[in-house]
Amino acid sequence: MKTFKLLVVLIIFTLVAVSCKKVHDDDIKPDGVIESVNDLVVPSNFDWKTTQTVDLVVILPESGEIQPLIVTNRDGSVKYFRGFPDDGSRTLRTKITIPSYITDLRFIYNGTSGPNIAYIGESTVTYNFNRSFKSTSVVNCDLVGYKTYSRGGWGQIPRPPRYNNVIPIGWFRDRNFSTVYPNGSFVVGIGNTVIFNSGNAVGVCLSAIGGGEPRILAPGNVLNPLGPLGNMANQIIAARLNRDYSAAGVLGTNPAGYTLGELVFIGGPFANTTVNDFLIMAETALGGGDMKGLTASEWSSAAESIINSFNDGVNGNVLTCPPDPIQDDPYIEVSAMCLTSDVVFTISNTGDGNMTSAFDYSVTKNGVEVDNGTYDLDVNEDLELTYTGLISDEFRIVVETPLNEDIQATISSCGSQEPSTEQYTGTLAYEDLWPGKGDYDFNDLVIDYDFAINKDNQEKVQSINATFVVKAFGASYHNGFGFTLPTVSPDAIVSVSGYNVINNTVFNIASNGLENNQSKATIIVFDDVRRLMPQTTGGIGVNTQLEYNYTEPVTIVVNIVFANNAITYSELNIGSFNPFLVVNTEINGAPGERGWEIHLPNYEPSDLMNTSLLGQWEDNSSAAAGRYFVTADNLPWAINIAEGFDWVIEFQDITGAFNHFAEWAQSGGTNYQDWYKNLSGYRNDDKIYPTQIGN
């Protein structure tokens, strides 16, 4: 019977695939050698993730009442976590999932100096507030004119000048190599070294595929390596190139006259250290010397932060001007930042001297004082103060200064979200012809997700409000969509509501809203995208072809209520959630099959998957190897983008729309980890649907 079912499914697949196969009347080919995802040479261990899950271990200050810890990106513009230790101690341990391109994290804790920054090493970040480093302020520092390029940029294959109306970085690198290195050699590493005698040799090394794990150099001296050296070497080489080309006066200029190497780190273990001094330490570690207690991955991330410091000429708040050697008077400034429902006030000494006595500050909420205290800051030292409120609240801080004046800052309308809510967002993009290859436009289903995870002060998850927005689908199939929470057992869920399922023949939903006969909590969000978002005009699907009308996205909000004390936020590990398509839930007006699922690369199928389909046609799944939903060449049928994603028009391979997608994939996710962003030179808007329709 199983064999017969498989035969029936494959026959149906063949017929439907033929009947709905997308015909390319006018293929749009991207520039360059790579014309399709099929042309990519992808490392076999590449997981196609645009996110990284990090284990946080943060030791809170030893004294005072325990306050919530806030974790953000470097400039504080995006909050990744707000919470408490789950065991009542002063050591907070949790998991967070963040974009892969993030190399460091900022920790904000009430009453501590900051910014407190740690580099991401491997998959663990450890920070101890009781051994924090003095910070450096970015205020009153002219950082105009600096520019840095990424490892992927420095590794470009040279093209003629002004290719596509821009100067290629590879051409710029080679043209100026002899100016920057007049003796003809670019040497990296102290002890063990790698030597390049041309710009092209640098490009060959940095563009090598595979071998991306951070590591020190092998013993000896290597000339013009053809293969990969590891991500620690790659990032340090790229950081050196940025520093050296800046020092030679060919990369960026600054009115203050500082070169990139003279700037200093704002925070982290290298706070107040110049780029020049950092590179001496980094190259010593790379060459087999003192690692200073850091891992190869942490050295890699620190070097990458230099690369990102002025990417595309935009200040990334990584570096600042060195302090004036003539110390005179302190100078106090105050700033305010809003992180959802948390207000962060920062008092900074941006002058040339230390304070010699303490001065007062006070904070009011809606005109009523909620806090007061004193501060005594050395030069370049900050004090961060955090307060929680609602969207209607107004906070004001008044600070006395050594100049016998009062300065203040006011902030309001920070947000109505409860402070115990964590957010996890992204976009899923699918190809639905599995187990046969699709056309790699990744628009057969485009769906945004936003998980709002509500928890208590012991980090116990209480509920999740999961919002899904169906943006587009370029498929003829009737496809459903669901997800599994791999760390959650069904008995941990009290109820699920808000899903849109009427097909009770294909889907068997329990009274509490979970799908029956699943060993892990599994929720079907909708059963048929074509019923949910009807196709009102011609074409293949909805919102993928410019010649047909635009349809407003459809939003579904699923509310999941957890049993008391069932699971902590860290145990939930929301970044591991496993979304999937259920293909052909309806065929010619009749109920289809439940067992035809499509998951992200190497994510396990659910218990209701028809596993006989695995390994058919171009699928190369192997349950024994933990390999699922990839081809023999490690190509996927779905991708999960860490942030908002503007999808590709119909018939357009994704490599032609996003200029760095191919390099990201072929580097095993090392280069251009932010390939999907709307940055200069990153994409071709004429091949991207939302850009063309003005949304």
Q: Are residues 467 and 539 in the same domain?
A: yes
pLDDT at position 2 is: 33
As given in the structure block, the two tokens for residue 670 are 């090392």
pLDDT at position 519 is: 98
565: left (phi over 0), alpha (psi -120 to 50) or beta: left
Q: What is the pLDDT of residues 631-675, one digit of tens each?
A: 999 999 999 999 999 999 999 999 999 999 998 999 899 888 999
Q: Are residues 401 and 432 in the same domain?
A: no
Angle at which helices 231-247 and 296-307 cross, to 10°: 30
Q: Are residues 165 and 267 in the same domain?
A: yes
pLDDT at position 5 is: 39
Q: Are residues 293 and 268 in the same domain?
A: yes
Burial 46-74 (b: 16+ CB within 10 A, else e): bbbbbbbebebebbbbeeeeeebbbbbbb
Higher pLDDT: 133 or 106? It is 106
pLDDT at position 17 is: 43
pLDDT at position 164 is: 47
Task: Give yes or no for residue 19 having a pLDDT over 50.
Answer: no
Domain boundary among 320, 341, 368: 320
pLDDT at position 9 is: 46
- Would you give the distance in Å from CA 40 to the centre of its chain? 22
**From CA 610, how far away is CA 577, in angstroms rounded?**
20
Domain presence at residue 81: no
The predicted model gives 24-53 an average pLDDT of: 74
3-state SS class at 339? strand
The predicted model gives 573-582 an average pLDDT of: 98
Q: What is the pLDDT of residues 424-450, one digit of tens each?
A: 999 999 999 999 998 999 999 999 999
Domain boundary among 256, 291, 320: 320
pLDDT at position 558 is: 98
Q: Are residues 302 and 450 in the same domain?
A: no
**Dihedral sign for Cα atoms in the order 285, 288, 293, 299:** positive
Domain boundary among 298, 320, 342: 320
Mean pLDDT of the chain: 89
**From CA 458, how far away is CA 478, in angstroms rounded?**
43
Q: CATH number for the domain including 379? A: 2.60.40.10
Q: Are residues 300 and 449 in the same domain?
A: no
**From CA 129, how far away is CA 4, in angstroms rounded?**
63
Beta bridge partners of 347: 334, 383
Q: Starting at the earlier edge strand, list the strands of the sheet with 116-119.
A: 79-83, 69-72, 104-108, 116-119
Q: How many CB atoms lie within 10 A of CB 19?
A: 8
Q: Are residues 312 and 349 in the same domain?
A: no
Q: Are residues 289 and 385 in the same domain?
A: no
Task: Give yes or no for residue 165 having a pLDDT over 80.
Answer: no
Domain presence at residue 79: no
Q: Are residues 548 and 596 in the same domain?
A: yes
Domain presence at residue 247: yes
**From CA 100, how far away is CA 83, in angstroms rounded?**
22
**From CA 599, how far away is CA 579, in angstroms rounded?**
6
CB 597 within 8 A of CB 582: yes
Could you tell me what percent of the chain has a pLDDT over 90?
74
pLDDT at position 121 is: 82
Q: Are residues 491 and 554 in the same domain?
A: yes
Helix, strand, coil percentages (3-state) for the chain, rounded to 5, are 20, 30, 50
Domain presence at residue 108: no
Q: Are residues 585 and 473 in the same domain?
A: yes
The predicted model gives 335-342 an average pLDDT of: 89
Q: What is the pLDDT of residues 54-112, one digit of tens each?
A: 999 999 999 889 999 999 998 888 999 999 999 989 999 999 999 999 999 999 999 99
Domain presence at residue 75: no
Q: What is the pLDDT of residues 384-410, one digit of tens each?
A: 999 998 888 999 999 999 999 999 999
Domain presence at residue 631: yes
Q: What is the pLDDT of residues 138-154, one digit of tens each?
A: 445 788 899 999 888 89
Domain span holding position 487: 421-652
Q: Are residues 227 and 283 in the same domain?
A: yes
Domain presence at residue 164: yes
| Total number of domains in the chain | 3
Q: Residue 113 — pLDDT band, cuts 50, 70, 90?
A: confident
Domain presence at residue 637: yes
CB 585 within 8 A of CB 608: no
As given in the structure block, the two tokens for residue 395 are 């906070």
**From CA 666, how far away is CA 150, in angstroms rounded?**
16
